[in-house]
Structure 1
Amino acid sequence: MYRLLIVDDEVHAVRAVQSGVDWEKLSITNVYVAYSVKQAKEVFLQEPIDIMICDIEMPQGNGLELLTWVREHYNATESVFLTCHSDFTYTKKAIQLGSLDYLLKPVRYDELEEVIEKAIERVEYKREQIAFNENYAHYYSLWSKNQPILIERFWKDLLNYRLLSNSNQIKELLVMENIPYQETDQFIPVLISVQRWYKVFTPRDITILEYALQNAAEEIIFTDYPNSQMVHLKEGTLLGLIPDFMADRNKVEPDQLRKAFETYIASCNRYFYCDLSCYIGESSFLWEIVKEVELLTQMEINNVTQNNKVFVKNEWLNHVGTITKLIPMAGWLEMLKSGAFEAVFTATEEYLNSWRNMELLDAKLLQEFQQSFVQILYHFLQVKGFHSHQIFTDHMSPERISTAARSVTDLQAWVKDSLKTTVEYCRVSEESETIVDKVKWYIKQNLGDSLSRDDIAKYVHVHPDYLSRLFKKETGISLIDYISEERIEIAKELLANTDLSVSGIAVSVGYSNFSYFAKMFKRATQLNPQEFRECNMSNK
């Protein structure tokens, strides 16, 4: 529900707005009225105002001055100016002061209602931000005062392999460190994994929020399971350890524990801007915990389709299987080559969407898809004559590759981003590429074939005669001579750096007649092919 204030020195204008707008539809429960800046300030001092509709020119102070005062004292209030003045100076000042909109009288009521709806959205967003900041400040205070305790250090040493998972050694340590466990005690490990944050946070923010997640688990779950312990394993991953040995109670009920963690997940979604899933293991002795946590970690790695769920290890293992699915990469490559970029975007999106509900899908298949897709992009870029390192910077970094294979959602984002970058680079390059550039690239890609002027002209969509004149004008050399020079240059490299036969090299650079090749080679280098090779061998 929201409160609104109308400020205008014209009584009839105020009444018109009061009667012309459907306030109930907009969830406006209280509409207040002020006929001067002074009266408006008095209303603000008595009532919380969410939205202010204000005239600009009024006696004893104008609306811009009022808005300045409101911004200083009630920054959460959204404002809309309603005035007869269309002066751009007023408009500019209103925008500088943060006014949502600037409407001219007489205003259409449907237009005013739309602006009020926008104001309500901004008010709601500010309320959420205030609530989040209050929560953040609360948990920051708790986190800053919290000190490591002996029991937490014991668990970290055990989970980080600083202790052997040996019952005798654990028993000795429990006695030596005065830790209130017995070597026969059992715990149920629960892995809590943040799958994604809804917002971009700094590392410090994430540390505070992870502490908030830990504190929420203690408030929502651990109150029913005394002496439970939470351990931070790594960024985005917590481990809850719930005792299953209390003398004054029965064993932990799995269904009850599942419901508790479902409630916990829903709460974290709402207050801490994240998706997360929980993985419940089997009740284990202290020396068995490490192995059990490793199994839960593997479950988390292989969960690539489902968010905000509770998984129980035994149920998961009963559904484990294998899945094979043909990935239609060849078709996508042909689409890219033919320039059907939008079709590729659609095909990849639809294909990956089909994976979302597959329970047996695991991280390995996502990694295989990603590797194959990288090869498709590299092959396409090679065909187009581009170097992948010129295009991809962050996309192929180890961190980005690893993140993309964490879930179908992350993989879709990576595929879409990589495709977009590839397509945009190709479009920009093709638009800036000249006819001569295209001809040179075509020649380079087809030196081993029989190259004719007509074939090249057809590739660049010009008349053969025009192509010959243009190429000579741009390069200072005829098209035929350029092809010959390129073939000889490649032949020189092969003769100097490989053990290929001279006849084989002749064929690879487009000469089916060896004698003609030798003749052209000697004309260009003053040496026959064998002499050229021997000369280069002696210089190495």
Structure 2
Amino acid sequence: MFMGSRTVWTFDSWNREHGLYLDCRSSSNCARKERHSMRIMLVEDEPLFRKGLAKMIAGSGTRWTVCGEAENGQVAEQMIPELQPDLVMTDIRMPAMDGLQLLKQTKARFPSIEFIVITGYQDFYYAQTALRSGALDLLVKPCSMQDIFDVLHKVEVLLAEREAVARQAASDKQLLLENTLRAVMLRFPYALGMLEELKGMPDSYRLLMIQIMDFFPVHRAYRKQDVSLLQFSALNIIGEMMDIFGITGTLLGIESGRFALLFDASADEEPFVEAACRTVQQLLGLPMSAACSDLVGEWTQLPDVYESLLEKMKASISVDKANGQEAALAINRARQQLISAQLAAFFSSGQIDAMKSYLEQHALEISSINEEAWRIEALSLSFALQDTMRKQFGQESDSLSLTDRISKLHDCHGKDEAGAWMKEELERFWTAFQAWQNRHSAGAISRAVRYMQERYTESLSLQQVAAQVHLNATYFSHVFKKETGFSFVQYLLEMRMEKAKQLLANTDMNITEISGAIGYDLPNYFAKLFRQCTGLSPKEFRKQNQI
């Protein structure tokens, strides 16, 4: 039996329960609505240490941004529910509420929030208690910048692994649910334990059936062994049209050449159906037919509704049963969606090197599996790449290219040829990425500078500004220095100092007010930076330059 799927409803809701946000309907949210940065909260009663730590993290070029600061655990406990940080870095000894109590109470309410505890050598007992209470690691004062970066990297790796596991679990759960839906419609046995999940489906939906009418049109030289690849391709194209037309629902393969879409009853399906049939015809040369039900009240009605639509379509379907042979291989579209989700996560967080390693490793794994299965897996990878190119790079599908690539894929024999085919697909993807990057970086630095000018009073990080112009932090840092002659941190410092000079020369604001007005909470820290940049203290500069 042919099996494949495209989902929004249940996959999406399950992930919300687990702290992930998946939505296949939007280009910006195709997988996890992942923060461009990871959020850290600093809890420390020594203002100089806390502010210095915040500045260091802001200018580090890492994915971490400081979302909040608190002078003790009591204040932090009030802020955490709203800020929902990924990580809390807290001192142990503080007034009102110490870090150990904050750790225990926060972990009881928000177990996914990680803790790094800052302690002194004399607090070894408390440090041991912190680890037993769920702290991920310790920092012992005095701690170096490298110590802090090392522990932040440790948390980053942990969070990435946790998200990957959650995505895989969501995919597995959704695939099981879809298999149940498929079994219900075909009156096959299914797991009774999934009935509660079926009851959780929307109250108001309709069933749309789409059928490939002929796998072997005279103008295309397809072969019987191409059927599984063509079905998978058609399923992906229909799913792409769902994204474009904003159709919310669950798309899955039912039988050979036949797809079912359970979708929101309020949606206007006609433009979507017309576009899906036209696009499959243009890209694959396959004619399709469709029929839609009235409102489906209960999931128990699905078998009858499915069979009535089948009868309705019989008159228009001219498929030779021999031509419409069932695929021998179960096609797991959920796997392709999982790859797309992972690529989107890498892309949104600017982890381009990690994305390269992931794709290379995935291609290597595909080329090592048995020959009967790797063609579908390779095509799944190709469609995940195409999905990313369309959503992230704005690149449309090429009908001739798709047909030629499917033909080439089927003609591949052995690991070497499979590897060569996937290498071409990856090269096509990276060429598109480079073109997008070159296109998008034009004017990006000027936009970044304008953003910095508007927000220089805030705690700006390299990652934050890079995300505003949709470039990964490493590439942005390189281009920024090339175009401006300064590193990001140097440029931001110069910008703030120029503003300080203007305020010192043209206003009566005191040093504390000026310090706050240009983004520095600590006047002494501002004065130190000002002297480093100008050779003068703020007071000396004002005395020489004030009108």
TM-score (norm 1): 0.36
- Greater radius of gyration (CA): 1
Q: Comparing both chains, which one has the higher relative contact order based on Cα–Cα distances under 8 Å and sequence gaps of 6 or more?
A: 2
